[in-house]
A and B are shown apart, each in its own frame.
Chain A
Amino acid sequence: MNLQLGVLEEMILILLLMKQETYGVDIAQEYEKQLGQSISLPAIHVVLKRLESKGLVSSYMGEATAERGGRSKRMYKASSRGFQVAKSLQDNRTRMWGLVPKLNFSPL
């Protein structure tokens, strides 16, 4: 698995894996909660489209609610390929982190 992902793509993929099944606004709220940073919805939408085209995420149309002005949600779910990619990214990172010497770094 040597697929390159952007930082935002990776974050959202992990969020999807955490939540099992979710949609745009929920991702935005979770992102804020976890990272303490706000994110714009169009940015999430674009990233989701990109992840979907890479085959890491699948989606289907969900139910409509009144809050949404009577519009349906598109629910996203990470695929098993998405899980693999995320996992290998994390593994690589953990492995590399293990190679970092735990010594004193000069305070810059």
Chain B
Amino acid sequence: MRKQLSHPPRWAERLLQWACRPDYVDEVLGDLNEAYYWRMEEKGRRKAAFKFVFEALLSLRFTHLKPFYHFNFNTMMLGSYLKIAFRNLYKRKAYSVINILGLSVGVAASLMIFMYAWQVLTFDDFHTNEDRIFMLYKERITPNGIQPTYDTWVPMKSMIKGEYPQVVASTRRYGMTGKVKKDEAYIEEEVTFADPEFLQMFSFEVARGNSTNPFSSPNALVISNQYAEKYFGSQQAVGRELSVYYPGEDSTIRYEVTAVLKDWPDNSSLEPDMIVAFESLPFYEDVKNLWGGSFIDNYVMLDDPASQYALLDAFPAFVEKIWDKEIAGRTNFKLLPFNEYYNTFLGSQQDAKILVFIALGILLMAAINFMNLSTAHSVHRAKEIGLRKVLGAFSGQLRGQFLVEALVLSFFATLAGIGIVALCMPLINDFFDIEIAFSQIGPPVLSVGFVAAFILLLGLMSGSYPAFFLSKINILEVIRGVFKTKGGRQVRNGLVVVQFSLAVFMVTGALIVRNQLVYMQSAKMGFEKDAVVIINASRRDFTDREEASRRLKTFRDEVKAQSFVKSASLSYSIPSNWVAGFTFVRPEGWEGDPLRMGMSYVDANYLETMGIKLKNGRNFLPDSEGDQRGSVILNEAAAKAFGFDKAEGNVILIGENRLNVVGVVEDFHYESMREEIKPTLIFHRTAENPVHRYIVCKMEMADISNHLSVLEEQWGTLGATNSFTYNFLDDSMAELYTSEQRFLRLVGLFTIISILIAVLGLYGLTIFVIERKRREISIRKVIGAEMSNIVLLIVRDFSAWIAGGLMIGLPLAYIFLRDWLDLFHYRIDISWTVFLLTAGVITTLVLLTVSYQAIRAASANPVKYLKED
């Protein structure tokens, strides 16, 4: 009969047996069983089994269930598991600490990355209308391809409003720098000029004040909660006044605060800390019908996200209506979904997705390591397991034991990981210049649920292999003392090689990135960057323009007169912030198209102060009006672009203006060393000229803080809107490399984590290998081997893995880093010393990890391991 061969699904049967009232069990289960065989004859096994499970679950009705207090949750065994787990952890403290540490570092690293990625992936998602908001932009169709330009025109809003019924609301946005007066000081802020719809479209909610129509008066101002505190402290901000000076317009506007906004999440692209009505733009009357110049953002909110296609279809006709057919042929309007705003202007959500995979990888590595360590330690547990089996433990109970132990470890590791994150959060935020916080993750209930699920998953993932592996141990072998751990060795070896390749890769990468950074910061720049102080001193720092020039001149003369100032100069440009603008220029008699070149303005003292060397020709003549209008100094790159051998006698043309080339300076790095030195034109403006923004001083560095306070005092007497601000030129140059610095930090951190994980993996493997060779070692010792021979025997095994790691890691690093270095125009060559250093570091680490265990094994008493046979 077939009946004996098949059996209904046991788990469903067990579940029902466990939960059902005992006096009903026989009837219900018996009937289900009988029906199973009957259905099997009729409809086949699978249908019968499915029906069985289905009906078993349906049978779990209230009428059939035991009263709750009769349920047996088997907590007794759980308690025993927990107790044994804690005893085991306590007994092998070193092992537990290493295990928890390794896992918690992995958890902390991945948690931090997850949080950062989460923040990036949910950027701007707090706007409830996000999917319906679009930014209008234009595309210029040129022979070389399509160029998107995101700034649009002021009158566009009124045009588009009447044109399309799909547009529910629209707003313009323009950010302008203003100086906000607080007490007697001025603070530079960005003021957002926007239409009233701005607050309806975007989810910036009004906390206090007029929430229905905050822009009812033309001088209304809506500020963020933060700014309300910044300017008015704890006092009520609504109804108060703020006056803002716009240096670009030379005008001051007094605003009245009508509303204060609630705080919005950190991951917002728009940060409208101060919003004023768009019409209050000082030059609004000049631009309100201007279709000639575009400089603002236009946003529209549609009735439905799908309406965008209708709009896109209608745009060509719209362009033609505004201008003419000719312009319509090379311009088109497009819609940028607001959820693409972050990707377009600020960062990349794609990178965040890659980071999630890295985080998962780190977590997996840590979990696998944990698995390896537990399995490697199984030899210590073999006797215990054997004895438990002899005493009648089921393998299910043993599995339960190991899973509970893994769960306990993962619980502590996760808590420790969260602790590490909490402790390091301010440091990490500072370090990487990001803003992550636990509060961004979401409601606490959800987070707790997530953490619980995480602990469970991590515990099950890392505990399952040891659990199944160990519960299958053959009792007879263990009791007889011939137990050998086997199986999965290839996997473990492979894993260690992978971990080492990764560590090698990271170490090499970190070294090369560091070398490039050091090279960039210490290379000859072509000018003196040490002991140069840049003082911000511009006519814009004064409310009265006429007065400003006079006062600045006084200040410059005072600076020059100081004994500690070796040389001082006024300029528009400094290296790191060089180009004042671009112009099209051609030498006299040039046939081809004019060349596009950057330009800058300096005074006659500049070359000397900065230590820029003249290659040929002469410097500008001080206070020479003629030099000011008709002369130019080129850098070498520019001279080469024009094909000039030397300065004198050459003339270049900008439009129809003739300029005599008076000198050529040696190339100097006025931008990051990522960039090739580009041709630049240097123009002369006398020290009195209002164009200058900086006073560049070559100073005596001894006692520098006193010198600076002397200058600060003098600045204080001028009555400027700014306080005295300055920079050291070498700092400004270093700032050009912040993204590289951050990259180096990131690489450095991952290097440490990868080394830690690799070393832990190796540690587990060493224990494993030594346990396997115990007997061999003991016999060798008895026969008379030296300790050094035995240590060598063990270490030899590992040299293959190091070699493997190096052989995979080094070429990968070479290929990867070569590509990275190609981003820089001035770059180092990857030298062999880097590889040697990496190999040295890794080998030392391996030797340290392995030899400790090896020496311990070699010095153990052989009798201990041989007497059992």
Q: Enumerate chain A interface residues (CB-CB to B < 8 A).
A: 23-25, 28-29, 40-43, 45-46, 49, 61, 64-69, 71-74
* Contacting pair A71 B35 (CB below 8 A): no
Contacts A25-B31, A41-B35, A42-B61 known; 11 new A-B pairs at CB < 8 A: A24-B31, A25-B34, A41-B31, A42-B55, A45-B28, A49-B63, A64-B30, A68-B31, A68-B33, A69-B30, A72-B27
From known contacts A40-B55, A42-B58, A67-B3, infer whether A73 and B33 are also in contact, taking CB-CB under 8 Å: no
Chain A minimum-CB-distance residue to B32: A41
B interface, over-half SS: helix
Q: Which residue of A lies closest to B35 (CB)?
A: A25
Question: Any chain A CB within 8 A of the CB of B745?
Answer: no
Contact B63 A46 (CB under 8 A): yes
B-chain residues with CB within 8 Å of residue A61 when the two chains form the complex:
26
- Distance A8 CA – B29 CA, assembled complex (angstroms): 22
From A41, A67, A72, B26 is in contact (CB under 8 Å) with: A72
Q: Can you spell out 27 A-B residue pairs with CB atoms less than 8 angstroms apart?
A: A23-B27, A24-B35, A25-B31, A28-B35, A41-B32, A41-B35, A41-B55, A42-B28, A42-B58, A42-B61, A42-B64, A43-B58, A45-B24, A45-B31, A46-B63, A65-B34, A66-B3, A67-B3, A67-B33, A68-B29, A69-B13, A71-B26, A71-B29, A72-B26, A72-B30, A73-B26, A73-B30
Whole-angstrom distance between the Cβ of B286 and the nearest chain A Cβ:
79
Q: Which residue on chain B has the smallest CB distance to residue A68?
A: B30
Tell me the minimal C-beta distance from A41 to chain B in angstroms: 5
Q: Is B650 an interface residue (CB 8 A)?
A: no
Is the beta-carbon distance between A73 and B27 smaller than 8 angstroms? yes
Contact pick for A67, options B37, B55, B61, CB 8 Å: B37
CA A71 to CA B34, docked complex, whole Å: 10
- Docked Cα-Cα span, A99 to B629, in Å, equals 120
For residues 436 through 464 of chain B, which have their beta carbon under 8 Å from a beta carbon of chain A? none
Q: B33 contacts A46, CB within 8 Å? A: no
User: Contact at A68–B38, with CB atoms within 8 Å?
Assistant: no
CB-CB under 8 A from B13, the residues of chain A are: 69
Task: Report B110 CB to chain A, min CB distance, Å.
Answer: 46
- Residue B59 lies at the interface, judged by CB distance under 8 Å to chain A: yes
B-side residues, CB < 8 A to A, are 3, 13, 24-35, 37-38, 54-55, 58-59, 61, 63-64
The residues of A that contact B58 with a CB separation of less than 8 Å are: 40, 42-43
A45 B64 Cβ-Cβ under 8 A: yes
A69 touches B33 (CB 8 A): yes
A73–B34 CA distance with the chains assembled, in angstroms: 10
Name the distance in Å between A51's Cβ and chain B's nearest Cβ. 13
A23 touches B33 (CB 8 A): no
Interfacial chain B residues near A41, Cβ < 8 Å: 28, 31-32, 35, 55, 59
7 tightest Cβ-Cβ pairs between the two chains A and B: A71-B30, A24-B31, A68-B30, A74-B27, A42-B58, A69-B33, A71-B26
Q: Which of B30, B37, B38, B54 has the most CB of A within 10 A?
A: B30
Does B63 lie within 8 Å of A67, measured CB to CB? no
Q: A24-B31, A67-B34, A67-B37 are in contact. Are A46 and B61 (CB under 8 A)?
A: yes
User: In the complex, which residue of chain A has the Cβ closest to the Cβ of B28?
Assistant: A45
- Residues of chain B within 8 A of A66, CB atoms compared: 3
**Complex CA–CA separation, A46 to B62 (angstroms):** 10
| Main DSSP-derived SS at the A contact region | helix
Residue of B nearest to A75 (CB): B27
Which residues of A sit under 8 angstroms from B26, Cβ to Cβ?
61, 64, 71-74
Pairwise interchain contact A23-B3, C-beta atoms closer than 8 A: no
Give the residues in chain B near A45, CB-CB below 8 Å: 24, 27-28, 31, 59, 64
B59 contacts A68, CB within 8 Å?
no
Most chain B CB within 10 A, of A29, A49, A68, A72, is at A68
User: How far is B13's CA from A22's CA once the two chains are assembled, in angstroms?
Assistant: 23
Q: Which residues of B contact A23 (CB under 8 A)?
A: 27, 31
A44 to chain B, nearest CB (A): 8
CA distance A30 to B462 in the complex (A): 53
Chain B contacts for A67, CB-based, 8 A: 3, 33-34, 37
Give Cα A24 to B59, complex, Å.
Answer: 13
CB distance from B32 to the nearest CB of A (A): 6
Considering the chains assembled together, what is the distance between the CA atoms of A43 and B29 in angstroms?
Answer: 14
A71 to B16, CA, bound (A): 14
Shortest CB-to-CB span from B450 to chain A, Å, is 36
Q: Which residue of A lies closest to B59 (CB)?
A: A42
B2 → chain A, closest Cβ, in Å?
12
| CA of A28 to CA of B33, assembled, Å | 13
Which B residues lie within 8 Å of A72 (CB)? 26-27, 30
A49 to B25 CA separation, bound complex (whole angstroms): 14
- Provide the bound-state CA to CA distance between A68 and B32, in Å: 8
Most A C-beta atoms less than 10 A away, residue of B3, B26, B27: B27
Contact residues in A for B59 (Cβ distance below 8 Å):
41-42, 45
B residues less than 8 Å from A29 (CB atoms): 38
Least CB separation from A27: chain B residue? B31
B residues in contact with A42, CB < 8 Å = 28, 55, 58-59, 61, 64
Partner of A24, one of B27, B37, B54, B64: B27
Assuming A25-B34, A29-B38, A41-B59, is B27 touching A69 (CB within 8 A)?
Answer: no
- Complex Cα spacing A37 to B27, Å: 23
Instruction: Report B-chain residues with C-beta under 8 Å of the C-beta of A65.
Output: 34
Distance to closest chain A CB from B526 (angstroms): 88
A24 to chain B, nearest CB (A): 4
Distance, CA A23 to CA B28, complexed state (A): 10
Which residues from B are CB-within-8-Å of A69? Answer: 13, 29-30, 33
CB distance from A17 to the nearest CB of B (A): 20
Contacts of B64 in A (CB 8 A): 42, 45
Q: Report the bound CA distance from A45 to B34 in whole Å.
A: 14
CA distance A34 to B519 in the complex (A): 93
Query: By the criterion CB–CB under 8 Å, are A25 and B38 in contact?
Result: yes
Give the chain B neighbours of A64 by CB distance below 8 A. Answer: 26, 30
Question: A46 contacts which chain B residues (CB < 8 A)?
Answer: 61, 63
CA distance A24 to B32 in the complex (A): 9
For the complex, give the distance between the alpha carbons of A73 and B27 in Å: 5
- Shortest C-beta distance, A30 to chain B (Å), equals 13
**What residues on A are CB-neighbors of B38 within 8 Å?**
25, 29
Least Cβ–Cβ distance between A43 and chain B, in angstroms: 8
Please name all residues of chain A whose beta carbon is closer than 8 Å to the beta carbon of B61 when the two chains form the complex: 42, 46
Which residues of B lie under 8 Å from residue A71 when comparing CB positions? 25-27, 29-30, 33
Contacts of B33 in A (CB 8 A): 67-69, 71
Set of chain A residues within 8 Å of B27, measured between Cβ atoms = 23-24, 45, 71-74
Contacts of A73 in B (CB 8 A): 26-27, 30-31
Contacts of A68 in B (CB 8 A): 29-31, 33-34
Chain B residue nearest to A72 (CB atoms) is B26
- Give the CA-CA distance A71 to B35 in the complex, in Å: 13
What residue in chain B is nearest A66 (Cβ atoms)?
B3
Q: Report how far A50 CA is from B95 CA in the complex, Å.
A: 61
- Nearest CB to that of B1 among chain A residues? A66
Of B24, B26, B59, most buried by chain A (CB within 10 Å of CB) is B26
Instruction: Output the residue of B29, B31, B55 with the most chain A CB within 10 A.
Output: B31
Shortest distance in angstroms between B525's beta carbon and chain A's nearest beta carbon?
85
**Cα separation A40 to B13 with both chains bound (whole Å):** 17
Report B9 CB to chain A, min CB distance, Å: 12
